[in-house]
Protein backbone atom coordinates (compact mmCIF):
# COMPACT_ATOMS: atom_id res chain seq x y z
CA UNK A 1 0.00 0.00 0.00
CA UNK A 2 1.50 3.33 -1.02
CA UNK A 3 1.35 6.18 1.50
CA UNK A 4 -1.08 8.96 0.77
CA UNK A 5 0.31 12.22 -0.57
CA UNK A 6 -0.76 15.75 0.18
CA UNK A 7 0.38 19.02 -1.28
CA UNK A 8 3.21 20.73 0.59
CA UNK A 9 2.87 23.99 -1.31
CA UNK A 10 3.97 25.04 -4.78
CA UNK A 11 2.96 21.67 -6.18
CA UNK A 12 5.51 19.68 -4.18
CA UNK A 13 3.92 16.49 -2.80
CA UNK A 14 4.85 15.18 0.60
CA UNK A 15 3.97 11.84 2.13
CA UNK A 16 1.51 11.49 4.98
CA UNK A 17 2.29 8.45 7.12
CA UNK A 18 -0.45 5.99 7.84
CA UNK A 19 -1.96 6.13 11.32
CA UNK A 20 -0.88 3.73 14.05
CA UNK A 21 -4.19 1.84 14.01
CA UNK A 22 -4.04 1.53 10.23
CA UNK A 23 -0.69 -0.21 10.56
CA UNK A 24 -2.08 -2.44 13.32
CA UNK A 25 -4.96 -3.42 11.05
CA UNK A 26 -2.54 -4.16 8.21
CA UNK A 27 -0.43 -6.42 10.43
CA UNK A 28 -3.51 -8.35 11.55
CA UNK A 29 -4.76 -8.77 7.98
CA UNK A 30 -1.35 -10.09 6.92
CA UNK A 31 -1.76 -13.17 9.14
CA UNK A 32 -3.60 -15.92 7.17
CA UNK A 33 -4.35 -17.91 10.33
CA UNK A 34 -6.17 -14.95 11.86
CA UNK A 35 -8.09 -14.35 8.65
CA UNK A 36 -9.24 -17.98 8.75
CA UNK A 37 -10.25 -17.66 12.40
CA UNK A 38 -12.17 -14.44 11.72
CA UNK A 39 -13.95 -16.12 8.79
CA UNK A 40 -14.93 -19.05 11.02
CA UNK A 41 -16.18 -16.75 13.79
CA UNK A 42 -18.10 -14.65 11.27
CA UNK A 43 -19.75 -17.80 9.90
CA UNK A 44 -20.72 -18.93 13.41
CA UNK A 45 -22.10 -15.48 14.25
CA UNK A 46 -24.12 -15.27 11.01
CA UNK A 47 -25.53 -18.75 11.55
CA UNK A 48 -26.52 -17.78 15.10
CA UNK A 49 -28.19 -14.55 13.95
CA UNK A 50 -30.08 -16.18 11.08
CA UNK A 51 -30.59 -19.61 12.63
CA UNK A 52 -34.23 -19.70 11.59
CA UNK A 53 -33.25 -19.45 7.93
CA UNK A 54 -30.03 -21.48 8.04
CA UNK A 55 -31.06 -24.47 10.15
CA UNK A 56 -32.34 -27.30 7.93
CA UNK A 57 -34.98 -28.51 10.42
CA UNK A 58 -36.67 -27.82 13.75
CA UNK A 59 -34.02 -28.22 16.48
CA UNK A 60 -36.67 -29.17 19.05
CA UNK A 61 -38.49 -31.80 16.97
CA UNK A 62 -37.68 -35.22 18.43
CA UNK A 63 -37.97 -38.60 16.76
CA UNK A 64 -37.05 -41.55 18.98
CA UNK A 65 -36.87 -43.87 15.98
CA UNK A 66 -34.07 -41.72 14.52
CA UNK A 67 -32.02 -41.31 17.73
CA UNK A 68 -28.21 -41.29 17.57
CA UNK A 69 -27.97 -41.54 13.81
CA UNK A 70 -24.36 -41.31 12.57
CA UNK A 71 -22.91 -38.39 10.62
CA UNK A 72 -23.91 -38.18 6.91
CA UNK A 73 -27.21 -40.00 7.46
CA UNK A 74 -29.93 -38.97 5.01
CA UNK A 75 -31.83 -36.08 6.58
CA UNK A 76 -29.21 -35.74 9.35
CA UNK A 77 -25.96 -34.24 7.93
CA UNK A 78 -24.28 -34.26 11.36
CA UNK A 79 -26.30 -37.09 12.85
CA UNK A 80 -28.96 -36.91 15.54
CA UNK A 81 -28.91 -36.67 19.33
CA UNK A 82 -30.31 -38.96 22.01
CA UNK A 83 -33.88 -37.83 21.23
CA UNK A 84 -33.56 -38.01 17.45
CA UNK A 85 -33.18 -34.25 16.97
CA UNK A 86 -31.05 -32.95 14.10
CA UNK A 87 -27.58 -32.15 15.43
CA UNK A 88 -26.76 -29.58 12.74
CA UNK A 89 -29.86 -27.55 13.56
CA UNK A 90 -29.21 -27.77 17.30
CA UNK A 91 -25.57 -26.72 16.87
CA UNK A 92 -26.66 -23.70 14.83
CA UNK A 93 -29.28 -22.68 17.39
CA UNK A 94 -26.90 -23.51 20.23
CA UNK A 95 -24.43 -20.94 18.91
CA UNK A 96 -26.85 -18.21 20.00
CA UNK A 97 -26.68 -18.95 23.72
CA UNK A 98 -23.04 -20.05 23.65
CA UNK A 99 -21.87 -16.83 22.01
CA UNK A 100 -24.19 -14.74 24.19
CA UNK A 101 -22.80 -16.28 27.38
CA UNK A 102 -19.27 -15.94 26.03
CA UNK A 103 -19.37 -12.36 24.78
CA UNK A 104 -21.84 -10.49 26.99
CA UNK A 105 -19.98 -11.05 30.31
CA UNK A 106 -16.72 -9.83 28.73
CA UNK A 107 -18.40 -6.72 27.29
CA UNK A 108 -20.07 -5.90 30.61
CA UNK A 109 -16.86 -6.55 32.57
CA UNK A 110 -14.88 -4.46 30.07
CA UNK A 111 -17.13 -1.44 30.69
CA UNK A 112 -17.35 -1.84 34.46
CA UNK A 113 -13.71 -2.81 34.96
CA UNK A 114 -12.37 0.00 32.78
CA UNK A 115 -14.41 2.60 34.67
CA UNK A 116 -13.41 1.28 38.11
CA UNK A 117 -9.75 0.85 37.19
CA UNK A 118 -9.48 4.28 35.59
CA UNK A 119 -11.08 6.02 38.57
CA UNK A 120 -8.86 4.12 41.01
CA UNK A 121 -5.71 4.80 39.01
CA UNK A 122 -6.35 8.49 38.44
CA UNK A 123 -7.70 9.42 41.88
CA UNK A 124 -5.18 7.39 43.88
CA UNK A 125 -5.06 7.55 47.67
CA UNK A 126 -8.11 6.39 49.60
CA UNK A 127 -10.26 5.92 46.48
CA UNK A 128 -7.64 3.66 44.92
CA UNK A 129 -7.23 1.66 48.11
CA UNK A 130 -10.99 1.22 48.56
CA UNK A 131 -11.68 0.08 44.98
CA UNK A 132 -8.63 -2.13 44.56
CA UNK A 133 -8.98 -3.88 47.93
CA UNK A 134 -12.56 -4.85 47.06
CA UNK A 135 -11.32 -6.03 43.65
CA UNK A 136 -8.54 -8.05 45.31
CA UNK A 137 -11.09 -9.94 47.42
CA UNK A 138 -12.70 -11.36 44.28
CA UNK A 139 -9.36 -11.69 42.48
CA UNK A 140 -8.05 -13.98 45.21
CA UNK A 141 -10.40 -16.80 44.20
CA UNK A 142 -9.79 -19.02 41.15
CA UNK A 143 -12.04 -17.84 38.32
CA UNK A 144 -13.75 -21.19 37.72
CA UNK A 145 -14.39 -21.79 41.42
CA UNK A 146 -15.77 -18.27 41.85
CA UNK A 147 -18.04 -18.67 38.81
CA UNK A 148 -19.37 -21.99 40.11
CA UNK A 149 -19.95 -20.52 43.58
CA UNK A 150 -21.81 -17.47 42.30
CA UNK A 151 -23.88 -19.50 39.83
CA UNK A 152 -24.73 -22.02 42.53
CA UNK A 153 -25.80 -19.22 44.86
CA UNK A 154 -27.90 -17.40 42.25
CA UNK A 155 -29.35 -20.56 40.73
CA UNK A 156 -29.30 -22.00 37.24
CA UNK A 157 -30.15 -19.95 34.15
CA UNK A 158 -28.55 -17.95 31.38
CA UNK A 159 -28.93 -14.62 33.18
CA UNK A 160 -27.26 -15.90 36.34
CA UNK A 161 -24.34 -17.33 34.36
CA UNK A 162 -23.83 -13.95 32.67
CA UNK A 163 -23.89 -12.21 36.07
CA UNK A 164 -21.46 -14.73 37.55
CA UNK A 165 -19.04 -14.48 34.63
CA UNK A 166 -19.17 -10.67 34.71
CA UNK A 167 -18.24 -10.66 38.39
CA UNK A 168 -15.36 -13.03 37.64
CA UNK A 169 -13.93 -10.85 34.84
CA UNK A 170 -14.28 -7.40 36.42
CA UNK A 171 -11.31 -7.79 38.85
CA UNK A 172 -8.57 -8.63 36.28
CA UNK A 173 -9.80 -5.97 33.86
CA UNK A 174 -9.88 -3.41 36.69
CA UNK A 175 -6.30 -4.24 37.65
CA UNK A 176 -5.10 -3.79 34.06
CA UNK A 177 -6.97 -0.47 33.71
CA UNK A 178 -5.64 0.78 37.06
CA UNK A 179 -2.06 -0.15 36.15
CA UNK A 180 -2.21 1.59 32.77
CA UNK A 181 -3.87 4.67 34.28
CA UNK A 182 -1.12 4.94 36.88
CA UNK A 183 1.42 5.10 34.07
CA UNK A 184 -0.52 7.64 32.02
CA UNK A 185 -1.41 10.10 34.78
CA UNK A 186 2.29 10.93 35.26
CA UNK A 187 2.83 11.79 31.58
CA UNK A 188 3.61 15.33 30.49
CA UNK A 189 0.43 15.85 28.49
CA UNK A 190 -1.70 15.03 31.54
CA UNK A 191 0.32 17.44 33.70
CA UNK A 192 -0.04 20.11 31.02
CA UNK A 193 -3.82 19.60 30.89
CA UNK A 194 -4.00 19.82 34.67
CA UNK A 195 -1.93 23.01 34.69
CA UNK A 196 -4.19 24.56 32.07
CA UNK A 197 -7.16 24.27 34.44
CA UNK A 198 -8.87 21.22 32.98
CA UNK A 199 -11.14 19.39 35.41
CA UNK A 200 -10.38 15.78 36.41
CA UNK A 201 -13.40 14.63 34.40
CA UNK A 202 -12.16 16.39 31.27
CA UNK A 203 -8.65 15.00 31.72
CA UNK A 204 -9.89 11.44 32.18
CA UNK A 205 -12.28 11.67 29.24
CA UNK A 206 -9.90 13.42 26.85
CA UNK A 207 -6.42 12.19 27.78
CA UNK A 208 -6.60 9.10 29.99
CA UNK A 209 -9.41 6.91 28.63
CA UNK A 210 -8.25 6.97 24.98
CA UNK A 211 -4.87 5.61 26.11
CA UNK A 212 -6.34 3.07 28.54
CA UNK A 213 -9.00 1.51 26.31
CA UNK A 214 -6.53 0.01 23.80
CA UNK A 215 -4.51 -2.21 26.20
CA UNK A 216 -7.61 -3.11 28.22
CA UNK A 217 -9.52 -4.05 25.06
CA UNK A 218 -6.72 -6.33 23.89
CA UNK A 219 -6.69 -8.05 27.27
CA UNK A 220 -10.49 -8.34 27.28
CA UNK A 221 -10.47 -10.11 23.91
CA UNK A 222 -8.32 -12.84 25.45
CA UNK A 223 -11.07 -13.45 28.03
CA UNK A 224 -13.71 -14.32 25.42
CA UNK A 225 -12.26 -17.79 24.86
CA UNK A 226 -12.11 -18.34 28.64
CA UNK A 227 -15.69 -17.12 28.97
CA UNK A 228 -17.00 -19.52 26.33
CA UNK A 229 -15.26 -22.51 27.94
CA UNK A 230 -16.28 -21.63 31.53
CA UNK A 231 -19.89 -20.83 30.56
CA UNK A 232 -20.13 -24.14 28.68
CA UNK A 233 -18.64 -25.88 31.71
CA UNK A 234 -21.30 -24.35 33.95
CA UNK A 235 -23.96 -25.58 31.56
CA UNK A 236 -22.31 -29.00 31.62
CA UNK A 237 -22.71 -28.99 35.40
CA UNK A 238 -26.41 -28.16 35.08
CA UNK A 239 -26.10 -24.50 36.11
CA UNK A 240 -26.97 -23.06 32.70
CA UNK A 241 -30.02 -23.24 30.45
CA UNK A 242 -32.44 -26.09 30.86
CA UNK A 243 -33.69 -28.61 28.27
CA UNK A 244 -34.96 -28.46 25.60
CA UNK A 245 -32.92 -25.28 24.95
CA UNK A 246 -30.03 -25.68 22.54
CA UNK A 247 -26.65 -24.68 23.99
CA UNK A 248 -23.32 -26.37 23.34
CA UNK A 249 -22.46 -27.09 26.98
CA UNK A 250 -25.97 -28.40 27.70
CA UNK A 251 -25.85 -30.55 24.54
CA UNK A 252 -22.52 -32.01 25.66
CA UNK A 253 -24.08 -32.83 29.02
CA UNK A 254 -27.11 -34.55 27.53
CA UNK A 255 -24.94 -36.59 25.13
CA UNK A 256 -22.57 -37.95 27.78
CA UNK A 257 -24.34 -41.30 27.85
CA UNK A 258 -24.04 -41.58 24.06
CA UNK A 259 -20.23 -41.50 23.89
CA UNK A 260 -20.03 -45.28 23.92
CA UNK A 261 -22.66 -45.60 21.19
CA UNK A 262 -21.86 -42.76 18.78
CA UNK A 263 -18.75 -40.90 19.98
CA UNK A 264 -18.39 -38.70 16.86
CA UNK A 265 -21.86 -37.20 17.18
CA UNK A 266 -21.56 -36.89 20.97
CA UNK A 267 -18.28 -34.98 20.62
CA UNK A 268 -19.60 -32.39 18.14
CA UNK A 269 -20.68 -29.78 20.74
CA UNK A 270 -17.28 -30.05 22.42
CA UNK A 271 -15.57 -29.66 19.05
CA UNK A 272 -17.49 -26.45 18.35
CA UNK A 273 -16.64 -25.12 21.83
CA UNK A 274 -12.97 -25.90 21.23
CA UNK A 275 -12.83 -24.40 17.72
CA UNK A 276 -14.67 -21.22 18.72
CA UNK A 277 -12.56 -20.72 21.83
CA UNK A 278 -9.34 -21.39 19.91
CA UNK A 279 -10.33 -18.93 17.17
CA UNK A 280 -10.97 -16.15 19.68
CA UNK A 281 -7.68 -16.94 21.39
CA UNK A 282 -5.67 -16.81 18.16
CA UNK A 283 -7.30 -13.54 17.12
CA UNK A 284 -6.53 -12.06 20.54
CA UNK A 285 -2.88 -13.17 20.36
CA UNK A 286 -2.49 -11.68 16.89
CA UNK A 287 -4.10 -8.41 17.99
CA UNK A 288 -1.81 -8.24 21.02
CA UNK A 289 1.26 -8.83 18.87
CA UNK A 290 0.15 -6.24 16.30
CA UNK A 291 -0.70 -3.56 18.83
CA UNK A 292 2.60 -3.97 20.69
CA UNK A 293 4.66 -3.06 17.62
CA UNK A 294 5.39 0.66 17.94
CA UNK A 295 7.18 1.08 14.62
Model pLDDT for residues 41-91, shown as the tens digit of each residue: 999 999 999 999 999 999 999 988 989 999 999 889 999 999 999 999 999
Residue 283 covered by a domain: yes
Distance CA 260, CA 266 (A): 9
Greatest alpha-carbon pair distance for the chain in Å reads 83
Distance CA 207, CA 224 (A): 28
Report the share of the chain in percent with pLDDT over 90.
Answer: 55
Q: Give 293's pLDDT tier (boundaries 50, 70, 90).
A: low
A 10 A CB-CB count for 133 gives 10
The parent domain of residue 253 ranges over 35-59+72-291
A 10 A CB-CB count for 195 gives 8
- Split into its structural domains, the chain has a count of 1
In the chain, DSSP finds a helix count (H) and a strand count (E) of: 13, 2
- Give, in degrees to the nearest 5, the angle at Cα 31 between 29 and 34: 85
A 10 A CB-CB count for 63 gives 14
Predicted model pTM: 0.86
Residue 130 covered by a domain: yes
Is 12 strand, coil or helix? Answer: coil
Q: Which helix (H) or strand (E) holds 79?
A: none
| Polymer length in residues for the chain | 295
Distance CA 278, CA 231 (A): 15
Look at 224 and 22; give whichever has higher pLDDT.
224
pLDDT at 141 over 90: no
Domain containing 142 — which CATH number? 1.10.3720.10
**Positive or negative: CA dihedral 279, 284, 289, 290:** positive
Pick from 164, 170, 78: nearest CA to 116? 170
CA 288 centroid distance within chain: 14
Residue 118 covered by a domain: yes
A 10 A CB-CB count for 38 gives 17
Amino acid sequence: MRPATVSAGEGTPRTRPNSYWTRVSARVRADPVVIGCLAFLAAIALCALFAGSVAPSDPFQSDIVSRLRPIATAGFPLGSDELGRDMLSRLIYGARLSLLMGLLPVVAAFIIGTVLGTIAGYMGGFVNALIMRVVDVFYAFPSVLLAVAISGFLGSGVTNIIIAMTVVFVPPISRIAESVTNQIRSREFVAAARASGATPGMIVHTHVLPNVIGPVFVYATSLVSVSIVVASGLSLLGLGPKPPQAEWGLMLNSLRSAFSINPLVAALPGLFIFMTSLSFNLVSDSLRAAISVKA
